[in-house]
Structure 1
């Protein structure tokens, strides 16, 4: 019987880091960083940010401004590029690749 994964309750800074960075992958254009938060939860979190020391508020504002700029930049990874990054992160020093992977790499290098 399969069990449910254990849920970890986060609060404050840990919650913000989890939701801002937990789902981001090298600028891939998916809104996964807030996928599990409802609007009231986001509002509550932002209200808590206002209780933080000024320096931490500045940090949060800078992160959010960078995320907003990233969304407007028009740059991001294609689904294929994301899969390649994920593959490389799983095994960055792979000693062998399949023939299909090798041919695909050659095609990419030659622009075919």
Structure 2
């Protein structure tokens, strides 16, 4: 590359760098919430049901609680679910959501469920 070519490319490159500096200076850079991450909630294992990490549950609303079903059996109950999750599932057209068991806590008889 000759020196003339470098001079031609310098101005657009400087503009690009300046635009990226402005993006870095915006105050909302680290305040945005990720949209691709599922919400997680803690549920109690229902009547000693056997569950494993990776099991896929159907989450449905029952009064002000959520129930996690594996097939036709209730395996987990969310006694005090987060209000935003409860409202989102109640507001959906089916009243159902999909969930995956992330972690099983054998001592406390609870499971951590990611809800999409």
TM range (shorter): under 0.3
| Structure that is richer in strand per residue | 2
Q: TM-score, normalised by structure 2?
A: 0.25
